[in-house]
Structure 1
């Protein structure tokens, strides 16, 4: 991209939109390696300027995160600011087309939407959530008009599912032509919005799990509490004191069981990889054919997410923060798991190009994981079976 320039002292030139350029580069780095995995000097080097030059535009790295996050959300709100009126389904189609273009255009920076927003201060996090609520309403309103049988909760959950499909493109780097990616995301999101509601009759969310139900060794309790905290606040926002306090022990006692915080994260990943492998093996055992195997895989993943939603979320979000000694092996395990899905879906849909198969697999997985952040998971509501159907809608659309 060519940047407009202006003359500065000494005959040198710099882009007129240098601040936006810095934020764009930083957002891409944050998406690839996580906010805390990127230094200000690395951002400056990637832009081609000195670190002190960055301070002419931003007070610190956090200010860049805020600016970049606002920029991403503003782009989404601008793209979806459509004139009111007209046919509800036509409005929805226009919204989905705009969001599909946005997803491909901002693929490298959508990690800000997926995970990095957790590192915002409460004030900026509230601003971010308010903007996302506005974006969500822009989908909910025409959907409710197009499908008046939906309850408000149903329309909201389906709209969140559609947004998670678009956001899924930024959770992986599988190669796919931009036009084909746009078409696939639009088709899948449209299919989800046409399907049955993800929850039956509205039912109030149950109370939080009783901490008194915790059981097992002290090591297991520490691991469980660290996973819960990593999922809620992000790995870098949690310290050993937080984990020890949540487990009911002093921070110094944590080191009797784990050498450090990174070892807790690695243990969580090994635990997750074991759960995923076991669930996959159990799902495929005795499958009558590929279609039956896919059905079993979907049910297995939904079950695992219901039972271990914190663990699954950490497994997908925090791989950039793993110790170097474990990162390569655990990322390999993750890739192999995705390839299991890709091979299976490719067998069920032999006419679908492999790049598109990968996009659908990531979209289906992200839909369930993303909804677990926003929707109360309670089997009494039948949410598990409706998520199974929505996953099928994504994979088979």
Structure 2
């Protein structure tokens, strides 16, 4: 064989060897792809949807947070909605699994079973704290069939906990039991609305005590089925005021992203250019809506402090005021809670600081009544009490009947003033 032929043969062998090595490397690369990548994508998507809202999150945002390309993400989920649906169903699945795993003695009392069920729900919510907020406001983006599935699962979890409620005479209606267990779940879910930190076991105990305090006050619940209250808005000739009113109505019914400036202007009897005379953008209009809610709350709070003669009287009056104000302008309050992520950064920062100061003021009064609480524990309870109003208010259709307000105020007082849970 000639030297040249030997050289060609050697080159061919080297090329073949290189191809084998590259194929092996590619095979190894595939083998090294994380087996839990779909779970990581799902977790990143759930956090993004919960913290930023469904419309504001793109597929590329989720892919980037996981460190993959959009095309790699599509191998696991066909579209953004599929990830959202997965996130929405995941927590109810986790809650059902947690309740399935509860183990108590055969002769355990209903009270003991209720404690264990609540602890299972609390621990599951704590583990999913960054994503569980998706259920409060973002579930409206589910299609009808998926929303029905989520509600059915949530109702099943609710019913399982309700089985161990204290029996009353006469027996509570199914609706009353639903409201009671929903109130306890609202207290637990309140931790998704803030990022305060407590040691795990102390957080569990604070939430458990608050839930059992609500259960103890369950006899206050009315069995009356609320009807949808017809919203009556004062007729105004002020164009700026009409724009704010119609924006609130449309944002509440369809969400900020699905409402155009033209629609808001038309609803207020103006054209789009007419709206720009009052608000330079839709985002500025949303900011004005938020400041409207915050200012009304500040004024009502100041009036309570002027008339209260003791810390306990002040806290009870604040609770009554918050319920009354929230029910009277429930569309505005709903927008306030659900559209915070769509504010301009400066407005969002300012309004969140105002929220924090509001909670701090309630917590300060609460600690005068309950000095055993730490500052952080008091804030946890204030958040839990405030969270009850939009959550249970929606169940009550924001019906302004006196018995509904009384039930909510009883729940808030139970959470704030407390009743120590008995030892296991």
* TM-score normalised to structure 1 length: 0.89
Query: What pairs up with 1:256-335 in 2 under 5 angstroms?
Result: 256-335=277-356
Partner of 2:256: 235
Secondary structure, counterpart of 1:107 in structure 2: coil
Instruction: Kindly name which structure, 1 or 2, has the bigger radius of gyration based on alpha carbons.
Output: 2
Partner of 2:207: 185
Between 1:356-365 and 1:370-379, the stretch displaced more is: 370-379
Cα distance in structure 1, aligned partners of 2:378 and 2:86: 34
Query: What pairs up with 1:354-373 in 2 under 5 angstroms?
Result: 354-373=375-394
Partner of 1:4: none
**Cα displacement (A) at 1:317:** 2.5
Report if aligned partners of 2:114, 2:161 keep a CA contact under 8 Å in 1.
Answer: yes
Between 1:299-308 and 1:80-89, the stretch displaced more is: 80-89
Cα distance in structure 2, aligned partners of 1:233 and 1:111: 19
Partner of 2:21: none
Corresponding residue to 2:409 among 348, 370, 388: 388
Task: Quickly say closer, same or farther: Cα 1:272–1:186, change in 2 above 3 A.
Answer: same
- 2:58 is the counterpart of 1:36: no
Cα distance in structure 2, aligned partners of 1:172 and 1:380: 30
**Cα displacement (A) at 1:324:** 2.4
Cα distance in structure 2, aligned partners of 1:9 and 1:241: 55
Cα distance in structure 2, aligned partners of 1:148 and 1:229: 43
Query: What pairs up with 1:1-397 in 2 under 5 angstroms?
Result: 9-11=27-29, 13-81=32-100, 87-143=109-165, 145=167, 149-197=171-219, 199-200=221-222, 202-205=224-227, 207-209=229-231, 214-244=235-265, 246-247=267-268, 254-397=275-418
**Cα displacement (A) at 1:374:** 1.6
Cα distance in structure 1, aligned partners of 2:133 and 2:139: 9
Task: Quickly say closer, same or farther: Cα 1:147–1:32, change in 2 above 3 A.
Answer: farther
Deviations, residues 178-216 of structure 1 (Å, cap 9, x unaligned): 2211111111111111213454352552553357x5445
Deviations, residues 319-343 of structure 1 (Å, cap 9, x unaligned): 1110123222222212211211122
**Cα displacement (A) at 1:367:** 0.7
Report if aligned partners of 1:197, 1:386 keep a CA contact under 8 Å in 2.
Answer: no
Cα distance in structure 1, aligned partners of 2:255 and 2:285: 13
* TM-score normalised to structure 2 length: 0.84
Report if aligned partners of 2:117, 2:161 keep a CA contact under 8 Å in 1.
Answer: yes
Secondary structure, counterpart of 1:49 in structure 2: coil
Deviations, residues 301-326 of structure 1 (Å, cap 9, x unaligned): 11211212222222222211101232
Task: Quickly say closer, same or farther: Cα 1:312–1:325, change in 2 above 3 A.
Answer: same
Task: Quickly say closer, same or farther: Cα 1:147–1:127, change in 2 above 3 A.
Answer: farther
- Count of residues in correspondence between the two structures: 390
Cα distance in structure 1, aligned partners of 2:208 and 2:356: 25
CA-based RMSD of the aligned residues comes to 2.6
Report if aligned partners of 1:199, 1:381 keep a CA contact under 8 Å in 2.
Answer: no
Report if aligned partners of 2:166, 2:215 keep a CA contact under 8 Å in 1.
Answer: no
Cα distance in structure 1, aligned partners of 2:275 and 2:143: 27
Structure 1 unpaired stretches of 5+: 1-6
